[in-house]
Structure 1
Amino acid sequence: MELEKLVNYESKEIVLQNLKDAGCTQEMLECILTHLNEDDMKEAFKLLEQHRNELLNALHESEKQIDCLDYLVYQIRRNNEHK
């Protein structure tokens, strides 16, 4: 099946841009497209899910870092109020 019809997009370029916007590397993009073009949906979904999980893990790590900074700011402000 044609890639555009597979995802109901107007063109292959839009699909490619979507994958790039999602942070896919060129290598990953080519691999996903190969699986999609070969109607190997299982592997394509596996790669997409793997990338999604990597993005989600990075997000959670960033949230932890923000929490650490927020706590530090809180402690500094609290200390300054007592002076």
Structure 2
Amino acid sequence: MDTKKILEGLSDMGCDEKEINFMKKMYEEGDTDTLLRDLRKCRCHLMDELHNSQKKVDNMDFLIRQIQKEK
């Protein structure tokens, strides 16, 4: 696995430029503890976005069912 190539794809995973540059620096310096901490932080942010999107979908489904019942 080419870790450096994966790090270059972090923007596709939702990380911003500042985070990406910091994580690349940590990788190059061999600071895997800090790198892993930041990757996990980015993952948590993505999971929060996923849960928020799921709540929106659930609310939309509820609204659709309510309107269907009124027909």
- Shared fold (TM-score, shorter chain, > 0.5): yes
Pairing of 1:1-83 with structure 2 (within 5 A): 8-9=1-2, 12=4, 14-15=5-6, 16=8, 18-80=9-71
- Normalising by structure 2, report the TM-score: 0.90
Choose 1 or 2 for highest CA Rg.
1
Match of 2:27, SS?
helix
The two structures, once aligned, show a CA RMSD in angstroms of: 1.4
* Greater RCO, CA 8 A, separation 6+: 2
Runs ≥4 in structure 1, deviation > 4 angstroms?
none
Identity across matched positions, percent: 27
Residue by residue over 1:5-27, the C-alpha shift from the partner in whole angstroms, topping out at 9 and shown as x without a partner, is xxx22x84x331x2121111110
Structure with greater proportional helix content = 2
Counting matched residue pairs gives 70
